[in-house]
Each structure stands twice: as C-alpha cells, then as structure tokens.
Chain A
Amino acid sequence: MNKAARHDRLFQRLCLSAALLVMATLAGLLLALVIGGWPAISHFGPRFFTSAAWDPVADNYGAAGPLVGTLVTALGAMMLALPLAMGVAVFLVEFCPRRLAHPLGLAVEMLAGIPSIVYGMWGLFVLAPWFALHVQLPLLLNLDPDTFWGKLFNGIPNGANIFTASLILAVMVLPYMATVFREMLLTVPPHMREAAYGMGCTSYEVVTYIMIPYVRRSAIGAVMLGLGRALGETMAVTFVIGNSHAFPDSLFASGSTIASTIANEFAEASSDLHVSALMALGLVLFCITFATLAAARLLIGREAS
C-alpha cells in the first residue's frame, strides 16, 4: 500500500472514530440516566409518574407536577408562538420590500441568539411584575372565582406562573421557528406562486391555500423542533415559573418543569432517593425530547414532490 492510500485510510478512521465518539456519548448518557434513575422508579413504581407529592423532607417523590408543568408550558408556548412565527415568515417572504428583508431577517436571527439567562432576568424583573399588576390583579378582582374563567385565571398575583413561563418560552422559540418557516416558504417553487396569482388569488389566498399547504409537513416538523427546545429550556423558565411542586390547578398557578426542578434541587439533594428521583426526571425529559425531535426529523423535508 502506498503512502497516499495509507494516509487516506487513517483519515477515514479518524472521521469514523469521531462519529463513534458521539454515539458512545449518547449511549453513555442514556445509560447513566437509566442507572441513576432506576432506584426511584423501582421504589415508587407507576406512582412516580402519577403522584404530585414531591416532598424531599419525607423522601417521597411524585413527578406529575413537573411533568405536567413541562408539557403545559411548552404547548402553551407553541400556541402563542406559532401564529406569530408564521406571520413573521409570511411577511418576510411575501410582503417585505427587498431591501428591508435582509436586515429584518438578521434581527430575527439575533433574537434567537440572546442567552436564555437574559430572557430569564427580563422575565423576572420586567415581565412578571408588569403581568401581575396589569393582567393578573384585574382578572382576580373582576372574575367570580367559582366560574370556569375564574378558576382558569386563579392564582397568587406575583407574575411567576405557568402562563408567564409559556410567554417567555414563546418569545424564545419565536425567532427560531420564524427562521425555519421562512426557509420553508422560500422553497415553494416560483411557478406555483405565479400560477396562483395568475388565476386571481389575493396574497392572502396564495399564502393560505397554496404556500402553507405546500410546506405543511415540514412546518409541523418545525413546530416539533421548537417544541423540543421549549421542553428542555431551563434557565428562563426557572426564573419565572414560581417553582412550586404542587400540581398546577390553573393557568396562573405557580408550577415547575422537569428542567427547573433539576436545576433548583440538584445541589441540595442529600438523600440517595432524591438524587435518583432527579435522575429519573432527567430520563423522562430525555425521552420526551428525543421522541419530539425524532418525529420532527421524520416530517421535515418529506414534502410530496
């Protein structure tokens, strides 16, 4: 074998080992979570997922509170961010004058680059007090606490609750989703747009009936990617969610997510069971996020062509 061929084989092996290292890290991480979380899961059984009793003093752990908190804040964030992100993307692709499109697109991307701790501080010091004073308090005073709406918006008016956490998450995933949507809309072939305009569609009709259906599958994938981010987001949520382990009983109730619970308690976890319960929480989050991202990958780029 000559020198060049040997060199090339070495290069291939190096690349292969880099790829294997990533796979090994993933497997090791999963294994560590399973081993670490197993004592808690085997100790509590299915009750670990259904009980909302999270009591480190009595060493009794049920993950229903953080589990529901994670899902509700993430889904709420998607509901808030989805129409806005779609609006931003449609504006950038369809209506924005060409010389504005580039700076505006850049600004949206920069928004995605702001560190989450900054969002968290803004949420705690600016958003939460404003929200408590101007939204929560008036609703609390004006709604009959026995009605459906009264129950939905019930809670201590301190601005730290499930809803403000969703709001912060929405702001965080919005630029990300808008960027992905924009790239998808740009893949709609120009002749498709022309054909639709050519038969007398208004811009609204072209966007709603032709362009969005054309990218539908990918768009669902993009939503899932955003959801994956929202599920695992830690710092910003920890700041504004109120960090109560109780099962959230209203939209304005304090709560917790899996990520915020882990961040808050890991340093202080003293008993083995507490550490194991947190590990088990991590495993649950890993599985949810992995499933979401896998589903997103399956959908993205699979447009009927």
Chain B
Amino acid sequence: MKFDAVPSQSVMRPPSEAERVLDVRGLDFSYGQNQILFGVDLPVARHQITAVIGPSGCGKSTLLRSINKIYDIYDGQSASGEILFHGQNILNPASAMGADNAALRAKIGMVFQRPTPFPMSIYDNIAFGLRLHRNVSRADMDDIVESALTRAALWDEVKDGLHKSGLGLSGGQQQRLCVARAIAVEPEVLLLDEPASALDPLSTAKLETALIEMKDSFTIVIVTHNLQQAARISDYTGFMLQGRMVEFRPSSEAFVKPETQAMRDYVTGRYG
C-alpha cells in the first residue's frame, strides 16, 4: 500500500467543545490551483499538547500555517472553512480576530522548523517581540526575559551572555531561544512546526521537557514526523494523509490501537 490512496475511513474522538480553545472545522487550503487540504478538522483542547503526525506532504505543516495565518503574507495561497478562536472565525476578515493578523499572531505564536534567531542579542531577541505589543519597563523586561528563558530551559546556558548575538548559539539553543521568544509575549496557543527535526537527541529531550512543563500555561499544537515524540509528549494526536484528517484521538489510545488501516500501517512502519 502506498500514500497515494485517498483514505476512505475517518475516526474522530475529539475533546468536548467546552474544552476546546481552538477549533478547525472543514478547512480547505490551496496554493493557487493546487488544493492541499480537504475539509480538515482539528479540535484543540485547552492546556493540552495536540500532535499532528503524518508522512511528508500530507499537509500537516500547511494546517499549522493556516492557524496563525502566516500563509497570508504570500500571494496565491488561500484558506476557506472555519478556524474558530474564542468563538470567532479567524479566516473571516470581518471578524475582530480575522481583521488584525498581527494581534492574532501575538495570541497564537509559532515556532518554525528551522531555528530563526533574529540578527540581534539573545536579550533583544526576546525583548523585541514584547516591545511590539506593549510598553515594558526595563526592570520588568529583565524579569520577563529571565522567566521566558527559564521556561524554555535555556536560562542556565545563556545567563552569562545575554548580550551576545543569538546567531552564536548552537542549533538546539537557537530553537529554545525561539520558543522563549514566542512564549515571552504570553500567547494562548503555541504552534510548533517540526521544532526538533534539526536537533540532536539531547537538545530534543530538553525541548520536549520544556514543552511538557509549559502545558500549564499554554495550549500547544505540535507538528512532527517523529512518532515517538508525539507519543511521549502529546495528549491528543491527529493523523493526516493526503490532505485529510484520518484519525484524531487521545494519544493514549491512538498509538496502542489505531482504528483506521492507514494509521495502523503508518505507526507500524509499513509505509516505510
């Protein structure tokens, strides 16, 4: 069996509506004429980690890029359907959430696959995002920078060189810096697009520990191609194939006994 078959089954065991902070419903997405997502649902429970897994090209990154509308900076990419956040469809430009992308992205932060420290000091990388959205006194800023770096499990490694360039850190440190930068503005939801794919195992472990500890403060959606990672840290797991959500269930069940043939094949490695 190959990936080119359009999955026929779909199993959804979502969290209750009351638990959801973010709710993707029937999302279609196109790059120009090329449709990538077909009616995707993704219910995201508050203060839980939701993992999205699936083979390369299944549309999982595109799903994530729709949620904070980063696709909107490019011509020719369009999303339709519903992404409900606080009861408003952010895809509708007439809603308060949909009208102001900058404000939306402050509430729904994103960490990308490649570490993206800005060309400035470690301190300023974190202070930068904060200054965009509010006035912070110097003393408060020091506290926030320390707290963000601590929560991202990076503080001990960089506390003596906060004013060195962020570009001088190792890949794993840069990625944790990006996490710290994203959480410093206190978003409600944190999106992570394969954040560990460029990291060594030790850095990955540090990042995962940090994510689990951050659950108390943030709702996390993580896209990963690493099944063990999804199983280790997530509460809910969605499996995507061919631009469709095939199976969505609590992670505790999903990896033990997948119900669809497609997910069974994927988690047992039969897709190679």
Given contacts A198-B70, A199-B182, A205-B132, contact A98 B75 (CB under 8 A): yes
Q: Is the CB of A200 within 8 A of B103?
A: yes
Chain B 120-153: CB-based contact to A (< 8 A → 1; otherwise 0): 1000000011001100000000000000000000
Q: Is the CB of B102 within 8 A of A201?
A: yes
The answer to the question of B73 belonging to the interface, with a C-beta cut-off of 8 Å to chain A, is: yes
Q: Is the CB of A191 within 8 A of B102?
A: no
Chain A 86-116: CB-based contact to B (< 8 A → 1; otherwise 0): 0000000000011000000000000000000
Q: Is the CB of B185 within 8 A of A199?
A: yes
The answer to the question of B116 belonging to the interface, with a C-beta cut-off of 8 Å to chain A, is: yes
The answer to the question of A249 belonging to the interface, with a C-beta cut-off of 8 Å to chain B, is: no
Q: Is the CB of A201 within 8 A of B132?
A: yes
Report how many residues on chain B are interfacial, defined by Cβ distance under 8 Å. 30
Given contacts A194-B70, A194-B73, contact A199 B112 (CB under 8 A): no
CB proximity of A184 to chain B, nearest CB, Å:
14
Interface of A is mostly: helix
CA distance A104 to B164 in the complex (A): 40
Q: Is the CB of B114 within 8 A of A191?
A: yes
Residues in A with CB closer than 8 Å to B178 are 195
CA distance A97 to B75 in the complex (A): 8
Q: Is the CB of A199 within 8 A of B106?
A: yes
Q: Is the CB of B102 within 8 A of A200?
A: yes
CA distance A201 to B133 in the complex (A): 9
By a beta-carbon cutoff of 8 Å, the part of chain A in contact with chain B is 97-98, 191-202, 205, 209-210, 213-214, 304
CA distance A193 to B74 in the complex (A): 11
Q: Is the CB of A197 within 8 A of B70?
A: yes
Residues in A with CB closer than 8 Å to B110 are 195, 198-199
Which residues of B, 168-200, contact A by the 8 Å Cβ criterion?
178, 181-182, 185
CB proximity of B131 to chain A, nearest CB, Å:
9
Q: Is the CB of A200 within 8 A of B132?
A: yes
Chain B 90-125: CB-based contact to A (< 8 A → 1; otherwise 0): 000000000001111110011011101011100000
Q: Is the CB of B73 within 8 A of A304?
A: no
CB proximity of B67 to chain A, nearest CB, Å:
11
Q: Is the CB of A193 within 8 A of B73?
A: yes
Residues in A with CB closer than 8 Å to B114 are 191
Q: Is the CB of A198 within 8 A of B118?
A: no
Q: List 8 A-B residue pairs with CB atoms under 8 Å apart, sorted by A's residue number.
A: A191-B114, A194-B112, A198-B105, A199-B105, A199-B132, A199-B185, A200-B129, A213-B120
CA distance A202 to B131 in the complex (A): 13
The answer to the question of B68 belonging to the interface, with a C-beta cut-off of 8 Å to chain A, is: yes
Q: Is the CB of A214 within 8 A of B112?
A: no
The answer to the question of B203 belonging to the interface, with a C-beta cut-off of 8 Å to chain A, is: no
The answer to the question of B88 belonging to the interface, with a C-beta cut-off of 8 Å to chain A, is: no
Q: Is the CB of B167 within 8 A of A199?
A: no
| Smallest Cβ-Cβ distance to B104: which chain A residue | A200
For B118, give its contact among A98, A194, A197, A210 (CB under 8 Å): A210
CA distance A199 to B180 in the complex (A): 12
Q: Is the CB of B105 within 8 A of A304?
A: no
CA distance A192 to B75 in the complex (A): 18
| Smallest Cβ-Cβ distance to A199: which chain B residue | B129
**Which of A194, A200, A213: most chain B Cβ within 10 A?**
A200
Residues in A with CB closer than 8 Å to B68 are 198
Residues in A with CB closer than 8 Å to B185 are 199-200
